[in-house]
Structure 1
């Protein structure tokens, strides 16, 4: 009896559900569907990231993104090698200032690293303290400083003669000049010390420590009010209107350098590049561990954009391989290669290199490329695109974000 009631109940429920569905459909059909707004960007084939994807934009979206394209062209580029370099002060243009006698420093509170000073500017005032005992008499100290100056002057004269005979180097001459300057300063300090301790400078009158050249303070080792002993290093000063760049090159590349060939120096922070001239200095010998030799170049630095110790990138143009080191041969001829602006290049999360190519109006296709090297603001492309194709420069990152759902 119970089972028969269930059997009668189930068909009734089914009929009710069917009737409700018909009524709902009738109500839905009675409502007018609103048209969907047109999307400003349409993504086709969004499959795998490694597959080519085409982005189709509306004219308004293309204008809003600021899309600009440049045609790929074949330029003549020379073989170059990018190496790391280090900025150094020009020998003879960097000095270390030391205390001539034991005493107490006064002033110098404004002397800090990076500060520009002028030649003859007073850096510190040093009040001499009576020495506990003299190891050498004052006359012996002055005579010794005078002898050292004479020896330094003789070395300078010899270095200039060797340079005139093309048997020496500019660096050796500059080092000799620096030795003469230091010897002159030592003699002046000895005479001042002799005069101060003999009562010719009114007893404890302060000695003025002045800048021997115009330059930038590299490092300060003392503070105002400090008690220092003789020969204590007070600060380091360097003239930075010109600096040297030390460039380690592979020994096998030395024969490919021209005699007057310049290089391009670029800061690692992306600042503007500038040329550097070769320096008539001896090559530093190669080391067994690296197989490189150090070559030096001089760089104009009137704006002091580079500081000693700074690491830089150096682009060296290489010749055909038949040049002797320092020879007068010509660099290798330029070869045609496809170049694109560096702004057109994009990188994915795995380091892959891509560009967007305009295949038709309002349509852009992402293509993988292989880059060989950078040449200024351009990059040399080995494969992936053809000459004449239009790649996106302005708005490439916005297209990348549009494709993968990023906001812009």
Structure 2
């Protein structure tokens, strides 16, 4: 029989095991992704809606063909509402005294002309207060002495060493001293503003407006010329607009602006104020211009931030500053849950594709589009929201 010796067979087995181990060390482990998306679909494949002619009629879909129009050049800048100079007043204490009333007076409260805001009880000068304090102390000492004399007169009468007349005179002196002390204390309280006595001066609102700031608390002692309250008339307000200096020459002398609240309220016309431009902000290349806005309903408050749309002329200061731009009706624009802007474009009969757009600004009821659609595209206006609901299952 032909067979290998046992030692040789063991040696070959050992070499085979070492070879396999070396190969396994050189192999790298295969990376496995923690997640995998199967059958990925592009966004464009999800944005086409096909409907029947009956559904198109039921949804009331109307379209418009986009074209390039000449649009007025504008700037949207921030502004700050201010009280008209001369229509804001600061009330001060005319004399030293104690304030009465005013507990309900708060910033933002409306007041009317002639309304009493405070009652001021005047205080005498310090030297007069010192004299009153000394007079009260003297009356107190006199009463103490009179009571001691009365007690002595009663003791002498009890010991049969005094007379009834002396006791009666002592009683009269005590009564007089008590009355003098009461009068002195009443004068001191009235002059110190600690009682309802004294001639109070009414502090009245000189105009109808809004309380901007309350500087003192009620029932406090104030000195002469202490600021009490600040009022502002708001039937008209100014809007301060920091405008880029390069745009100042493109702003017409009689050019009005549109002033809008930041919460999206109705816009109001701001008329230029005949006042010099007030300086420039260091490092920002802006200068302040002012516009007056009618505010009879007091919708704007001093310090409020607003949005201001400024129409600009050409660079040379002539012309209306219009430029070609692609616009879409405001009714065509839709927003998704994350704030993305979309429109529906008709790509075939009864076929609408949702396309993302980027709106630059609003001009009346039109929106200037910077990208997303081209001139000639047929965009849905009426029925765009219904298509949006149909695409995402909100309409049937």
Matched, 1:123 2:91: no
Deviation at residue 321 of structure 1 after TM alignment = 1.6
Matched, 1:381 2:369: yes
How does 1:332-371 map onto structure 2 within 5 Å?
Answer: 332-348=320-336, 352-360=340-348, 362-371=350-359
User: Residue 298 of structure 1 corresponds to which residue in structure 2?
Assistant: 292
User: Residue 205 of structure 1 corresponds to which residue in structure 2?
Assistant: 199
How does 1:22-101 map onto structure 2 within 5 Å?
Answer: 47-49=41-43, 53-57=47-51, 69-101=63-95
Match of 2:97 among 76, 99, 103: 103
Q: TM (normalized to structure 1)?
A: 0.62
How does 1:234-383 map onto structure 2 within 5 Å?
Answer: 234-323=228-317, 330-348=318-336, 352-360=340-348, 362-383=350-371
CA RMSD of aligned residues (A): 3.3
Pairs aligned (count): 293
Contact 1:52–1:367, Cα closer than 8 Å, also in 2: no
Deviation at residue 262 of structure 1 after TM alignment = 1.0
For structure 2, the residue ranges without an aligned partner over 5 or more in a row are: 1-38, 129-189, 192-196
Q: Measure, in 2, the Cα distance between the counterparts of 1:235 and 1:127.
A: 17
Cα offsets for 1:297-319 (capped at 9, x unmatched):
11111121111111111111112
Q: Measure, in 2, the Cα distance between the counterparts of 1:407 and 1:112.
A: 51
Cα offsets for 1:92-127 (capped at 9, x unmatched):
111111222333322334433333322222222111
Contact 1:276–1:298, Cα closer than 8 Å, also in 2: yes
Q: Measure, in 2, the Cα distance between the counterparts of 1:400 and 1:406.
A: 8
Q: Measure, in 2, the Cα distance between the counterparts of 1:61 and 1:358.
A: 15
For structure 1, the residue ranges without an aligned partner over 5 or more in a row are: 1-44, 135-195, 198-202, 324-329
Q: Measure, in 2, the Cα distance between the counterparts of 1:234 and 1:300.
A: 28
Q: TM (normalized to structure 2)?
A: 0.64
Q: Measure, in 2, the Cα distance between the counterparts of 1:102 and 1:118.
A: 25
Q: Measure, in 2, the Cα distance between the counterparts of 1:397 and 1:276.
A: 35
Deviation at residue 382 of structure 1 after TM alignment = 3.2
SS at match of 2:224: coil
Deviation at residue 233 of structure 1 after TM alignment = 2.5
Deviation at residue 61 of structure 1 after TM alignment = 6.2
Deviation at residue 347 of structure 1 after TM alignment = 4.2
Structure with the greater alpha carbon radius of gyration: 2
